[in-house]
Every structure is written in C-alpha cells, then in structure tokens.
Amino acid sequence: MSNENLLLLAIAIPALTPFLLALFGKLPNLRDAVSVVASIATFAAVLHLLLAVIDGARPAISLLEVMPGLVLGFEIEPLGMLFATVASGLWIPTSLYSIGYMRGAHEKKQTRFAICFAIAIAAAVGIAFSGNLFTLFIFYEVLTISTYPLVAHKETPEAKKGARTYLAILMTTSILFLLVALIWTWNITGTTEFRAGGILEGHIDPALVPFLLALFAFGIGKAALMPFHRWLPAAMVAPTPVSALLHAVAVVKAGVFTMLKVGTYIFGVGFLSKTGAADWLMWLAAASILIASIVAITKDDLKARLAYSTVSQLSYITLGVALATQMGVVGGAMHIVTHAFGKIALFMCAGAIYVAAHKTKISQLDGLGRKMPITFFCFTIAALSIIGLPPFAGAWSKWYLMIAAAETSHLIIIGVLMVSSLLNVAYLLPIPARAFFLKSKDDDANGKIEEAPLFCLLPICFAALGCVVIFFTIGGLYEYLLNIPILPESLP
C-alpha cells in the first residue's frame, strides 16, 4: 500500500470505527474489542508511515479544494509524524484502560463514549497530518466538538458546567482569534501551506508580527496558555480515560503541536528570532509555567492538580517555540513525547485510585500505597519524569529547553525552568509519599481496598516503563527531531 493511502487509512480507521461501535453498542465485549483492534490498526498504519518518514519519505495528498485555493490536504513532516505516533500509540493502552475503568466505575453510555473517543483520535491524527493551516483548523474544531460529549459524559450539573466552560473557551479562542489569524495569513500570503522556514517573511510588516502571533497563541486555546487555560481544569469532570489520553495527550498536545507547527512552518523560527516577535510570548509562557504550578500546589483534588500541572507543562512547549531556536523546537517536540508518557500515567493512576478506592482528594490518600503499591510506584516514576529527573524521559526535554534558553542568553528562563522543577516536586511527590509513608486516618474503611483491575494496571505500567525507556533511547528521538526543517528550503 502506498504511503498516501496509508495516510488516509490512519485517519479513516478511527473515523470509521464509530459506525462499527454503534453497530455493536449492545454487545459490550465486542464493542470494546473493536476499540482495541481499531487502535492497534491505526497505530500499525502510523508506525508504517513513521518508518517511511524516517527513511525520508514525505507523503502528501490533496483531497479536495474546499474553496478556490483552499485545499483540504495532508502532508507528513517529522513533527506531525511524531505527534501522530504519540497520539495513536497511546490510544492502545488507553483503550485497554478504558475497558477496565469504564466497567470498574460503572459508567453509563459507554458506546457513546467509545464513539466520541475514536472520532477525537481521528481528529488528532488529522491535525498531525494536516498539510496546511486550513486543514489543521478544520480538524482542530472537529476535535473540540467530538470531545464535548466526553467531557459532559456524566451529565451531572458539574459535568455540564465543566463542558460548557470547555466548549466556550475553546470555541471562543479558536473562532475569535485563530480563525482571524488564519484568514489574515491567507490574506497576506495567499497560502496557508506549511513550509519550511515559514511563509510570512516578506509579506508582513514586522511591527505587526507580534499581533499575528498573539492571535495564534491565544487562538490555539488547546495549548492552554494563560489566561485561556480554565477549560483544562474544567474538563476534569470527564471520565479519567478522557483526562488521560485527551487532556494529557491528544487534545492539549494538538494545541501545543499547532503552536510548534505555526512557529516553525508559518512564521519560521528564523523570522521569529529576527523580529523578536515572540519575546512577549516567552515571558507569558514562563509566567504561565510558574503560576499554574503554584495553583497546582493549592489544589487538593488529584485531577485538578494534575490539570494545572498540565497547564504548566504545556507552556514548556510554547516556551520552546517562543525561544525561536532549533533547540527550542527540538525541546518542545521532545516534551510532547516525554510529557505525554508521564502525564498519561499520572492520570491513569488517578483513575485507578478512583476505581479501586473511590478517592479523588489527595488528603484522602494516606496509607493507600500499601494497598496499591504498583499504582503508586508507577505514579512516582511518572512524577519524577514530569519533574524532569533522570533517569526518566522528562529530563531530556527540559535539557534542550534549557539549552535553547542558554543559546538565546535568557538566563531568567533557565531560572524559571529550575524553579518550575522544584514546584513540580512540591506538588507531585507528596502524593505518592503520603500514600506510601503516612498512615491512613480511617484504616477500617481502607481495609478492603486492593489494586485496580488488570486492564487498568497494565497500561499504567506500560506508560511508566515508557518514561524510563525513552530516557535511554533519547538519542534516536533526537536524531529524528533534527529532521524538522528549520531553514527555508533553498529554491531549486
């Protein structure tokens, strides 16, 4: 099968799975099997493409012209390939985990859940493979809409409120800012294609660049840049698999991925650093990193704390873009991977704790480590990875972001990254420490608690293992990321 067809297949499988899911809605075992098989099939297709891309292939395909000059088309480049691999790859453990979680927590409407989940993955892969900003925007909105039912899943008043916030912020930012930015870009350059080195240089008054960048940065609400981050904690009312895959990996990473993509292929790193247009973004991202971390410390709700941690970590990637050097892009892209593994593990642990012990508050976790050692052990590993400690994956992405900050002589940014690590320690490590080393206040109630179902545990262990493995195999990832074109291709 040609790479182009594989590309379409990688989007089509998750996009068409919902029909099968709807068909088997009444047969839970078959339905869940379909989910798992679809996730594996998608990943197989993506993996195939990954190998091709590593070999230098750049499959591209134009589906149709939506409006004169505006093409719905796909083109794979290293960055998008990376995101697609992460999103589709982590779909497999998450779909397994969903089985354990949704059944363990006795959630209703599991078919609707599975359907929307598959669509969201299709949209994420679509975003990853988008050949131009216009296509990307389309899938970006599909992703928003398809995750709304997932956030509102519980249908309680809180769920509705959270989902409303979720939708309101993502829609407002994307329509009010991102779409305008998109049309502006189209207006001045006559294209929305992603091109190495950017398309804007020479078309736009340098004085206006910061404004256009602002429209993009705030328009990509999924990147959760402060002050448009509120949707992320609000989305935590969703069932945990959603928080794990979508709000730690697919959706939020779609956001920061778009930031990276826009920075690299629309503005161009060179253009950004030449005009200094991203300076303000750098400071905002730095502030976002710190403030979100501080807020995280004050949260007692486990998922809320993890959500604010995500807000903070996402800004690392935005920071990588804003530093406007190759190492910044490499660090940011690397952080997409490393943070994905760490945060998905953390959320899965939170879900496992909820399924096994029905606890959502950190203050209730004392002594649980004895009952759920595997869960909390994996939590510790993932937390260390998020903090950025060796030998866990997070250390490397932080290293490259620091290198980028050093290259641009922003010592304060290095300081911010350091302080952020410590804040991460302060809000993440007390959780397993309390669970393992403090005594529970109500031992009787905890007496019956045991580990979450195997379907939950295995994905957790997988993700935690990923954090370790990536640390040692980072060389390959780094080599791969160097393929992201930074400079404009010389014209033939």
Partner 1 sequence: MPEYYTPALAYIAAALLVPFVPKGFLRGLYLLLVPVAGVLIFWGLTPGTYNAFNLMGMQIGLMRVDALSQIFGLAFSLAAMLAALYAWHLRDTVQQVATLLYAGSAIGAVFAADLITLFVFWEGTAIASVFLIWARRTEGSFAAGMRYLVIQIGSGVILIAGIVLYYREMGTISFTAMELGSPATWTILAAIGIKCAFPFLHNWMHDAYPSATVTGTVILSIFTTKLAVYALLRGFPGTELLIYIGVAMALFPIAFALLENDLRRVLTYSLNSQLGFMVVGAGIGTPLAINGAAAHAVASIFYQGLLFMAVGAILFRTGTARATALGGLYRTMPLTMIFCLVGAASISALPFTSGFVSKSLILSAAGYDKMFYVWLALLAASTGAILHTGLRLPYLAFFGSDGSLRPKEAPGGMLLAMALTAALCILIGVFPGALYALLPNDVKYEPYTFSHTIVQLQLVAFVALAFAWAVGRGLLPKAERSTILDFDWTYRRLLPSIIRGLRRLAGAVWDRASRNINSRLDNLVAAVFQLHGPQGPIARTWPTGAMVMMVALLLGMTLVLTYL
Partner 2 sequence: MMALIEPHLPALQVVIPLVAAPFCMMLGRGGLAWIFASVVSLATFVISIALFAQTYDGTIISYHMGGWAPPIGIEYRVDILNAFVLLIVSGSAALVLPYARSSVAAEIPAERQALFYTAFLLCVAGLLGVTITGDAFNVFVFLEISSLATYALVASGAWANKRALTAAYNYLIMGTIGATFFVIGIGMLYSVTGTLNMADLAVRIADHGDSSTLRMGFVLILLGIGLKLAMFPLHLWLPNAYAYAPSAVTAFLAATATKVAVYVMLRFMFTVLGFDYEFQADTLRMVVLPLAIIAMFAASLVAIFQDDLKRMLAYSSVAQIGYILLGLSLLNETGITASIVHLFNHAVTKAALFMVAGCFIFSAGTSSISKLAGVGRDMPWTTAAFVAGGLSLIGLPLTVGFISKWYLVLATLELGWWPVALMIMASSLLAIIYVWRVVEVAYLQPAPAGVTRKEAPLSMLIPTWIFVGLSVWFGVNAMLTATAAGRAASALIGSSHILWKD
Per CB under 8 A, residues contacting partner 1 are 384, 387-391, 395, 398-399, 402-403, 405-407, 411, 414-415, 417-418, 421-422, 425-426, 429-430, 433-434, 436-439, 474-475, 478-479
* Segment interacting with partner 2 (CB under 8 A) among 28-36, 156-164, 304-312, 401-409: 156-164
Contact mark string toward partner 2, 38..77, x via CB under 8 A:
--------------------------xxxxx-x-x-----
For the segment 98-137, give every residue that binds partner 2 (CB under 8 A): 137
DSSP code of residue 361:
B
82 binds, among partner 1, partner 2, none (CB under 5 to 8 A by kind): none
Shortest Cβ distance from residue 415 to partner 1 (Å)? 8
* Segment interacting with partner 2 (CB under 8 A) among 114-122, 165-173, 270-278, 328-336: 165-173
Nearer to partner 1, 299 or 434 (CB): 434
Sign of torsion over alpha carbons 455, 456, 458, 463:
positive
Shortest Cβ distance from residue 387 to partner 1 (Å)? 7
Return the amino acid letter for 344: I
Crossing angle for the helix pair 78-104 and 251-261, nearest 10 degrees? Answer: 170
Query: What are 372's two structure tokens?
Result: 């759920």
16 binds, among partner 1, partner 2, none (CB under 5 to 8 A by kind): none
Which candidate, 374, 238, 390, places its Cα nearest to that of 306?
Answer: 238
470 neighbors 393 (Cβ within 8 angstroms)? yes
Query: What are 129's two structure tokens?
Result: 């493979």
431 neighbors 379 (Cβ within 8 angstroms)? yes
Nearer to partner 1, 455 or 462 (CB): 462
Shortest Cβ distance from residue 50 to partner 2 (Å)? 28
Q: Which of 160, 195, 230, 370 binds partner 2 (CB under 8 A)?
A: 160
Q: Which of 175, 411, 412, 482 binds partner 2 (CB under 8 A)?
A: 175
Query: What are 82's two structure tokens?
Result: 């990376």
Asked if residue 230 binds partner 2 (CB under 8 A), the reply is: no
For the segment 178-217, give every residue that binds partner 2 (CB under 8 A): 179-180, 183-184, 186-187
Residue 391 CB: number of other CB atoms within 10 A? Answer: 12
Residue 358 has φ and ψ, to the nearest 5°, of: 55, 40
Residue that the structure tokens 């410590």 belong to: 422
76 neighbors 59 (Cβ within 8 angstroms)? yes
Which candidate, 363, 348, 347, 365, places its Cα nearest to that of 449?
Answer: 365
Shortest Cβ distance from residue 176 to partner 2 (Å)? 5
C-alpha 81/C-alpha 76 separation (Å) is 6
Q: How many residues bind partner 2 (CB under 8 A)?
A: 31
439 binds, among partner 2, partner 1, none (CB under 5 to 8 A by kind): partner 1
